[in-house]
Structure 1
């Protein structure tokens, strides 16, 4: 039996995470997307390390990650998505790199959505 893994992160997970992680004027698009990819990679690694879902955020933050603190707000949403996937499927993909790439590709749309949400 061949399993087909959706490599692309679902739109809802992307939007939840990207909207939760504020971008500051001092941060470039590349920096922001890199941090977001690092958060996703950390969640994926926690899943591969068999960290219980309810302990993921605590475990990741205990390692004092390199990204700015505000990016950690996306951990719960990303955890729900990553933990819905089978570990054997996660071995075959790099969700951090995929997430970073999608962030870069969709940056302008995401910024427009953030702006629209802030104006409401």
Structure 2
């Protein structure tokens, strides 16, 4: 769980500051990024190609959240595939983000 919180903190500091009332929206977009990177991992996309692959899918989040892709990719790719497969990383991320 500590990994999740640390990774969330890294991404939150890398993204522009948002008003408290926008926090849930921002955390939702961050969770969407995590879900996309997780899916790339499950689809066996090479780590070096994740950003390109995710962006090619025309994600719905605002462009500024693309900056989170290279931050969450190593976090997801260093986990055992079983953990990636068996856990809702997007929800874990969103919960940690909202707790900040």
Q: Assess same fold via TM > 0.5.
A: yes
CA drift of 1:23 comes to: 3.8
- Give me the TM-score of the superposition, normalised by structure 1: 0.75
Query: Partners in 2 of 1:75 and 1:8 — Cα distance?
Result: 16
Greater RCO structure (CA 8 Å; 6+ sep): 2
Q: 2:34 aligns with which of 37, 40, 48?
A: 40
Q: How many residues align?
A: 99
Cα distance, 1:30 vs structure 2: 1.1
Q: How far apart, in 2, do the equivalents of 1:36 and 1:58 lie? A: 17
Distance 1:67 1:35 in 2: 6
Runs of at least 4 residues off by over 6 Å: none
Structure 1's unaligned 5+ residue stretches are 1-5, 107-120
The answer for unaligned runs of 5 or more in structure 2 is none
Please give the TM-score of this superposition, normalised by the length of structure 2.
0.89
CA RMSD in angstroms comes to 1.7
